[in-house]
Homo-oligomer: A and B are copies of this chain.
């Protein structure tokens, strides 16, 4: 199996011997430049048309190195496992064999049992590190969380970033704690029965510290994405790019014991070839699962409303285990907060909430104003456990004006309604950090680019994005450290007063979800939802054998709504 035998990057094999492997097609000559502990230059061998290799001795862990292409400048390794001095510095050798894992008895949970919790390492705690998360795991476990989803931690420029500006997909953000920090966190999670899902970005690379184009045709002019030229997944030399990213998925499973990946915005991963790179990747991962016996999950963020994302290969699908269901959020959000229609103009009816519960995609082929076209296809037959739902997430909060959480927008009662709508749904629920206790601090967009020109562009871009909402008032400056600081969770309020009461509510709902047989059934045909008044609905769940039922009544109006019981009468 190629993907397990010849990975990219630097690998210590034994006795300080290290093999370096690099994809650099069309390059005549590559040198390995060891920077420390003892400087030297080693010419690399061209292995085939596209790859270079060098194997050297006296190369302990933490050895720093660059590559030199055709007598050019020092460049960090695109497949660097560690960038201890940031995106512009040398790459560091990591010994992936030596970490003292203590999670041998860990087995991944079935996906259907997941209670997901999305967190951003930098703002989850004051310290903003992997290490600082560990003491907080008991609180999450107590809440009922059994899987955390970590926003991207691949090395990005500076120390403050959502993570989607990452430029070293194999490296672990040094300021978060680097490779060992992540391993410590995963090991601790596993020992507490918590799975770890990692958010990865395979649709673009960030604008700063991106040395990829120097190495080869990673990008193609054939397709444009919101970030510029698309990654080259189907053009000449695309095999190297396909393997770079497909093997990256395996990298996290093998070396960091990650239990699943959440792929960012797969609609911007463009491939018109015979085998879509996402299928190619998922096939590789299937072989990894076969080979190792481990269970790992692939979850997509998709803006396509296309069932092919989660269909299997035989039916022309990409083979993801699950995908995010944004429509569930949008349908519910605009009912909870009608002013939200300014952002989600095509939502706001009760019927859409019904469709979100019973079919999945709310837009399944009809004309959508915001898109100026007919959009989506039906997901009616798709099992509910193939969808991850949420009432808040980094994107819906962070890209709303003022980084407003639901707490800022709706009443405490509505927060509870949102929680119940989420946790009693026939889908995989995901909380956004702080949601469970009504965190009042915002989640804003923040960056810490070194390049002043880029920083100015980011500022201007944000202002433009929010003009529609905020008029000429600029949104908080993404580059300001204070913007970042203002987003750090306030753990001090978590168990107090109304926060504590909301936390209990979440905890009880999660406990109910884990216990009640009717809530274990992901067959959407067994979920009924009835509109019983304006802003009021009944949700009826039942188990597969129809022995057990659960009825939940929701009322967003300010008046009592009559409802006859039992519901079938």
Contact = CB atoms under 8 A, between A and B. Distances in A.
A274 B327 CA distance: 15
B274 A304 contact: yes
Contacts of A234: 373
Interface string A222-240: 1110000000001111110
B304 A373 contact: no
A10 interface: no
Nearest to A307: B274
A382 to B, nearest CB: 13
Given A221-B224, A222-B223, A316-B317, A372 B275 contact: no
A304 B371 contact: no
A220 to B, nearest CB: 9
A275 B315 contact: no
Interface residues of A, number: 35
Interface in A177-229: 221-224
Interface stretch (A29-37, A265-273, A331-339, A548-556): A265-273
A168 to B, nearest CB: 24
By secondary structure, the A interface counts as: loop
Contacts of A377: 274-275
Contact of A235 (B236, B306, B373): B373
A306 B305 CA distance: 23
A374 interface: yes
A295 to B, nearest CB: 26
Contact of A315 (B236, B274, B315): B315
A300 to B, nearest CB: 14
A333 to B, nearest CB: 22
A306 B377 CA distance: 22
B374 A239 contact: yes
Nearest to A311: B316
28 contacts: A222-B223, A222-B224, A223-B223, A223-B224, A223-B270, A234-B373, A235-B373, A236-B371, A236-B372, A236-B373, A239-B367, A239-B373, A239-B374, A267-B272, A270-B272, A273-B304, A273-B306, A273-B375, A274-B304, A274-B305, A274-B306, A274-B307, A274-B308, A274-B377, A275-B306, A275-B365, A275-B377, A311-B316
